[in-house]
Structure 1
Amino acid sequence: MKWLKQIYDCLYAYKQWFLMLVATSLLFSFLAWLAYPETFNVLVGLMIVFTLAMVSLSVFIINKKQKIIEAAFQDFLLETNEANEERLCRVSPKTHWSYIRSMGGIIRSYQSELNDQVIELTDYENYIEGWVHEIKKPLSLMTLVLDNRSDEMSPLVRKRMLHIRDQMLGDVERILYFARLGAVHKDYIFESINLLAVCKQTIEDHQTLLDESGFQIQFIGEDMEILSDCKGLAFILEQLIFNSTKYVVQNQDNPILKFEMVYDEVSEQTILHISDNGPGVSEEDLPFIFDKGFTGGRGTYTRQATGMGLFLVSKMANDLAIQLDAKSELDSGLTISLIFPHVKQ
């Protein structure tokens, strides 16, 4: 069927020339009928055979030429250098040469700009990763001082310093993960994880942030086992904790962060609901909270809103095959559900 389509495409592309050939054959047939009526049938038969032969030969030559041009054009697109450009010109009609050379110049110009941008982006990513590793040194020193010189500072100052350190560590982790979003290889290790233990460990690691905002932590439901990457899941939980502490309403009484573990028997999936009683999200903003850079109306509560935390959560959840669901109303808090995939043993 492919060769039939090639014949049809060829006839359609050069239809005006084939129509002229047929019209010429009809004209000569008419003249033969006028001049040689006694041998008209023989002459018309020869004319039909000749026309069909010429059409078949033309289609064969055109298709063969077209394949050569297509091969040269593919090489030209894969590597738009001057050698492939000249090769394409040699096999193409001379009337197309100016267009081919103009196209080659434009593509090479765009490729040069793209290569420069790739180099700049690579340098930027290397700088960011280098900066992240360098900034961890003073953060480690800060941790060392806070652990060994706590008796030389007041409890309030130490608490504030721990709060600032944890905020900086969270920002560094977000920067590092964002810089690695485009990496081809990601070193995830999927293993059986105790969900409640991961939640409690993450809370413990960021207790100063929660204490600074006065959060009460609640755990609801029985402990469950899931199959996931421990570091990736901890990163998701960290970002959701940061998100809740960022958007706590000023002078809010009894802010609560709730972790509820549920097993859906119908879908055989484990679900973790993480909810707070903060300002919530409006109905029109809710579908976009996982979009990059989106802060919405809720972003006015704080100048710290960047719209990156939940975006990174969505990216990590996608890598770990975790479905996300968000429910909220203004002044009624935000609930984000992590739906873990059902894995057959």
Structure 2
Amino acid sequence: MKRVKQIYDCFHANKQWFFMLIGTNLLFIFLAWLAYPEVFKVLAGLMIAFTLTMILLSLFMILRKQKIIETAFQEFLLDPNETKEEMLCQVSPRTQWSYIRRMGNLIRSYQSKLNDQIIELADYENFIEGWVHEIKKPMSLMTLVLDNRSDEMSPLVRQRMTVVRDQMLGDVERILYFARLGAAHKDYIFERLSILVFCKETMENHQTLLDESAFQVQFIGEEIEVLSDCKGLAFILEQIITNSTKYVPQNQDSPILKFETVYDEINDQIILHISDNGPGVSKEDLPFIFDKGFTGGRGTYTRQATGMGLFLVSKMAYDLAIQLDVKSEFGSGLTISLMFPNVK
């Protein structure tokens, strides 16, 4: 079938020449009928056979030439250097040489720019990795001071330093997970997790941040097991918790963070609703909160908004086969739902 299509495409591309050949053949057949009526049938048969032979021979030569050009073109695309360009020109019609050389110059120019960008990206990644390792030193020192000199500080100073340290740890962790999302191999280990127990354990690691914002935490629903990666799921929960505490209005008296588990029998899914009673998200911003770099109206509540937290949540959730759903009304809080498949 492929061969037939190639023959059809070849005939269609050169149809004007074949029609001219057929038209010329018909003219000579007519002249033969006028000049030699007694041997007209023999001459007409020879002319038709000659025409068909020439058409078939032409198709064979054109297809063979196209195969050679296609091979040279593929080699040129894989390595568009001047040698491969010259080889492509040698097997191509002379009328196409100027186009091939212009294409070669353009591809080599783009390839040079791409190589420069790859080098810059590699330098940037090396710088970020180096920065992550360097920032661990002051963070370790801060932890050491908080662990061993906390009695020399006032409770307020100790609490503020702990909050700052936890925020720095969260920023570093976001960078590491962002790099992990782009890795070719990801070391996810899926295991059974009791979802509410896991949420409580994750909350304990951010208790200082919650205390700073005076959050009340509520756990509602039955204990249900889900199959997921421990580190990846913890990262998702941490980003949602951080997002809720980041946007707490200063005049809010009792901020609430609620975790609720529900089993959806219709879709056979386990759903974890995480909701707060913060400022919420406007209707026009809601479809874009998982987009990279999007801060929207909520970004005006704090200068710390980067638009990366929920973007990383969406990427990590995709890797862990978790569906995300978000509901909110401006001024009435935000609810993010994590829908886990019920793996039996």
Quickly name the TM-score band, shorter chain normalised. Answer: over 0.9
- Give the aligned residue type for 1:56: L
CA offset digits 1:317-345 (Å, max 9, x no partner): 0111110000000111000001112213x
- Give the aligned residue type for 2:122: T
The within-5 A match list for 1:196-345 is 196-344=196-344
Name the CA distance, whole Å, in 2 between partners of 1:226 and 1:129.
Answer: 33
1:94 aligned residue: 94
Q: 3-state SS of the aligned residue for 2:341?
A: coil
Q: 3-state SS of the aligned residue for 1:266?
A: coil
Name the CA distance, whole Å, in 1 between partners of 2:264 and 2:225.
Answer: 14
Q: 3-state SS of the aligned residue for 2:250?
A: coil
1:62 aligned residue: 62
Q: 3-state SS of the aligned residue for 2:192?
A: strand
What are structure 1's unaligned runs of at least 5 residues? none
Name the CA distance, whole Å, in 2 between partners of 1:2 and 1:145.
Answer: 74
CA offset digits 1:73-92 (Å, max 9, x no partner): 11111111222212211211
- Give the aligned residue type for 2:101: R
1:153 aligned residue: 153
Contact 1:29 1:43 in 2 (8 A): yes
Name the CA distance, whole Å, in 2 between partners of 1:207 and 1:109.
Answer: 54
Note the C-alpha offset of 1:184: 0.7
Name the CA distance, whole Å, in 1 between partners of 2:119 and 2:209.
Answer: 38
Answer with 136-145 or 272-281: which moved more.
Answer: 136-145
Name the CA distance, whole Å, in 1 between partners of 2:28 and 2:215.
Answer: 98
CA offset digits 1:187-208 (Å, max 9, x no partner): 1111111212221111111111
The within-5 A match list for 1:9-24 is 9-24=9-24
Note the C-alpha offset of 1:43: 1.0
Contact 1:236 1:317 in 2 (8 A): yes
What are structure 2's unaligned runs of at least 5 residues? none
- Give the aligned residue type for 1:65: K
1:28 aligned residue: 28
Contact 1:129 1:179 in 2 (8 A): no
Q: 3-state SS of the aligned residue for 2:188?
A: coil
Q: Does 1:184 align with 2:177?
A: no
Identity of aligned residues (%): 78
The ranges of structure 1 where at least 4 consecutive aligned residues each deviate by more than 4 angstroms after the TM superposition are none
The within-5 A match list for 1:77-156 is 77-156=77-156
Name the CA distance, whole Å, in 2 between partners of 1:140 and 1:272.
Answer: 34
Name the CA distance, whole Å, in 1 between partners of 2:198 and 2:116.
Answer: 43
- Give the aligned residue type for 1:147: D
Q: 3-state SS of the aligned residue for 1:68?
A: helix
CA offset digits 1:242-300 (Å, max 9, x no partner): 10011111210100000001122222221110000001111121111100111111211
Note the C-alpha offset of 1:219: 0.4
What is the aligned-residue RMSD (CA, Å)?
A: 1.1
Name the CA distance, whole Å, in 1 between partners of 2:106 and 2:337.
Answer: 49
1:45 aligned residue: 45
Give TM-score scaled by structure 1 length: 0.97
Number of residue pairs the alignment of both structures matches:
344
Q: 3-state SS of the aligned residue for 2:274?
A: strand
Contact 1:128 1:179 in 2 (8 A): no
- Give the aligned residue type for 1:169: L
CA offset digits 1:24-80 (Å, max 9, x no partner): 111111211221122112111111111000000000111111111111111111111
Q: 3-state SS of the aligned residue for 1:24?
A: helix
Give TM-score scaled by structure 2 length: 0.98
Name the CA distance, whole Å, in 2 between partners of 1:183 and 1:127.
Answer: 17
Contact 1:128 1:176 in 2 (8 A): no
Q: 3-state SS of the aligned residue for 1:180?
A: helix
Q: 3-state SS of the aligned residue for 2:181?
A: coil
Q: Does 1:169 align with 2:176?
A: no
